[in-house]
Structure 1
Amino acid sequence: MNRQPPLLAIDAPGLYFRAYFGVPESAGRTEAGEPVNAIRGFLDMLATLINRRRPDRVICALDHDWRPDWRVRLLPSYKAHRVAPGGGEVVPDTLGPQIPVLLDVLTALGVPAIGASGYEADDVLGTLATHEPAPVEVVSGDRDLFQLVDDARPVRLLYIGRGVAKLDDCDEAAVRARFGVPASGYADFAALRGDPSDGLPGVPGVGEKTAARLLDRYGDLTSLVAALDDPQAGFAPGLRAKLTASRDYLAVAPTVVRVARDVPLPPVRAALPARPVDADRLLELAERWNLAGSCRRIVDAMAQNAEMDRDAETVGTDR
């Protein structure tokens, strides 16, 4: 049976931050010395993904609000360490100017990049994974997105913690093998364990193994917290004390970790074109920003992807 082409739902901020830190500025500059390393790295990663995953649709998710007020009200420490002195997210000085150029390139290619007011890219990805026609492959290095994995739809996470070249193609079995919990229980697991990168303190003394063991025993965080009031529940005294002291935190943390799945998104044409929708604009951008090599690679990937799809359709017709 032929594999059905997926939607690639891409964590754009995750990829361009990774590209920025993964590609030296000296390896990507314009003639005037302006850094374009993040743009080059992003486009090269996207070309690699298209070549390897053969999607028929691609959508990039954006942070229109990287630290939503509704999450901060629940947990003030949420991403607090990443707030710049003047407000907003800490972004390297030489990355910020590259982002609008990257979005211009994606527009010329015909790859939509969308976000929603009051929501993070993770929430956009959660909505796409829930409502777009399956299969969906979410591309990110954010561990919170393991919660989106769903074999029934199917939705997979292409986890790029080690880079796109060494991505982990994760189904539900992979999530359970990695963390000891099902994908549906990941938000509860992360709340217990904590995540310093997002300002989630977790329960002191509860690491991954203990969090997984507790959820395996009690099923979910609601049942676990309820069991604290049962003297026969079998908690070690020290663990019971730590969990009891963290009740207020545990009441809100899973909501903060859990991605939204009904974000109001603008209508988009997700179909990956065989060629750039605005070739003249793409050429202009490639020349202005010294992106010829990266633009050529992604254009070639789009064309080859379309050709392979036509060949597959021909084979299917012949049968």
Structure 2
Amino acid sequence: MSRPRLLLTVDAPSLLHRNHHARAESELRDRAGRPAWALHGMLRQILEAIDQFAPDAVLFGLDDRRSSVREQAYPAYKAGRAAKDPALVDQLERAGALLDALGMRTVTPAGLEADDVNASAATWAEAAGWHCVIITSDRDSFAHISDRTQVLRLINGGISASPLLNPARLRALYGIAAEHYLEYAALRGDASDNLPGVPGIGEKLAPVLLSEMGSMQAVWADIDHCAGATLVATLDSYCQEVGRPRIGASVLKRLATPAARERFEFNMSMMSGRTDLDLGLTPDVPGSPGLLPLEPDRVSRVVGYLGVPSTTQLALRVLTEPPASVGRPPVGLTTPAEDR
């Protein structure tokens, strides 16, 4: 039985940021003398991931660095982050051209971010019957985890040491179902994006609230139509089962304010990724950008320009040869039927 086809989706800015800070001491320059350590580090990690997962297509999401619909809606979005090193900015600006020259597929959505590309990629894979692996160091993509989409969260130690998260592993980490992760994040907030959470509902209480009530939609409906009676009874019953003091009344008091719901709904709107982007993927058209394998001469020329022979050799092996794992599921992936 042939394996389902696999789309590897890469949060390019996330990887560039990590590799800039991790590899800056190398001061690697390309053949034109421009900073290249972040570009090389990102590419090296993606080559390792392609070698591991044997994808059929690779898609890179990039941020629109000129405008942001989220910043227009909320000027404080991501405020407080340190100014970017000019060398990092230079490599962020050049990343798309490098990847396009290599033959990869890149998407820079107007006013949006790589997170939106990830969301649309997961939706595309589901509709097309493909599997999807999102590579990122950002937790936002956890909202897209499903039977068909997993997230390789890049941490210290690189590709081989990074966790591959599926619905079961996400539940083990956070105590919530994958389909509720976005609600969990909206309750908790995200300090890195300067998005405060719902007051009094932190990362420990949010999973309890969602697992016991099923969804925030159920919570709001109970508050609107039953004055929160079901919420209080459900949470107090949970507390009795686990041997802790009752929390139902205090949680209701925190959630019953207009400010709590406004904060939750605002965070949901800011954190939700766009799922309707045109990714330009045409997997049935041979030679389309992003489809593997790539042309050897092109790979040798583009990767060779970074000036690291070992990476050029790896790229030629990984990007220009048919996957060695055809006929079996990629590492860590099963079909939905096998999951059951």
For residue 134 of structure 2, what is the aligned residue in structure 1?
138
- 2:43 corresponds to 1:43: yes
Counterpart Cα distance in 2 of 1:24 and 1:202: 34
For residue 125 of structure 1, what is the aligned residue in structure 2?
118
Counterpart Cα distance in 1 of 2:92 and 2:71: 25
For residue 290 of structure 1, what is the aligned residue in structure 2?
307
- 2:131 corresponds to 1:103: no
Corresponding residue SS for 1:308: coil
Corresponding residue SS for 2:87: coil
Structure 1's 96 and 276: CA in aligned 2 closer, same or farther, altered over 3 A? farther
CA deviations over 1:65-93 (Å, ceiling 9, x no partner): 58732x346544332223x8xxxxx4321
Counterpart Cα distance in 2 of 1:207 and 1:11: 27
For residue 317 of structure 1, what is the aligned residue in structure 2?
none
TM-score (norm 2): 0.78
Q: How big is the shift at 1:275?
A: 3.3
Instruction: Please list, as runs of the form range in 1=range in 2, the aligned pairs for 1:13-52 lying within 5 A after superposition.
Output: 13-30=13-30, 34-52=34-52
- 2:324 corresponds to 1:308: yes
Of 249-258 and 138-147, deviating more is: 249-258
Counterpart Cα distance in 2 of 1:11 and 1:141: 8
Counterpart Cα distance in 1 of 2:63 and 2:188: 25
- 2:152 corresponds to 1:158: yes
Indicate the RMSD between aligned Cα atoms, in angstroms: 2.7
Structure 1's 214 and 310: CA in aligned 2 closer, same or farther, altered over 3 A? closer
The residue type paired with residue 155 of structure 2 is G
Instruction: Please list, as runs of the form range in 1=range in 2, the aligned pairs for 1:102-251 lying within 5 A after superposition.
Output: 102-132=95-125, 133=128, 134-151=130-147, 154-162=148-156, 163-229=158-224, 230-232=227-229, 233-234=231-232, 236-243=248-255, 244=257, 245-251=259-265
On the 8 A contact 2:300/2:316 being kept in 1, the answer is: no
Aligned residues: percent identity? 30
Q: In the comparison of the two structures, how many residue pairs are matched?
A: 299
For residue 86 of structure 2, what is the aligned residue in structure 1?
93
Corresponding residue SS for 1:273: coil
TM-score (norm 1): 0.83
Corresponding residue SS for 1:278: helix
For residue 274 of structure 2, what is the aligned residue in structure 1?
260
On the 8 A contact 2:19/2:42 being kept in 1, the answer is: yes
Corresponding residue SS for 1:206: coil
Q: How big is the shift at 1:11?
A: 0.7
For residue 238 of structure 2, what is the aligned residue in structure 1?
none
Of 245-254 and 59-68, deviating more is: 59-68
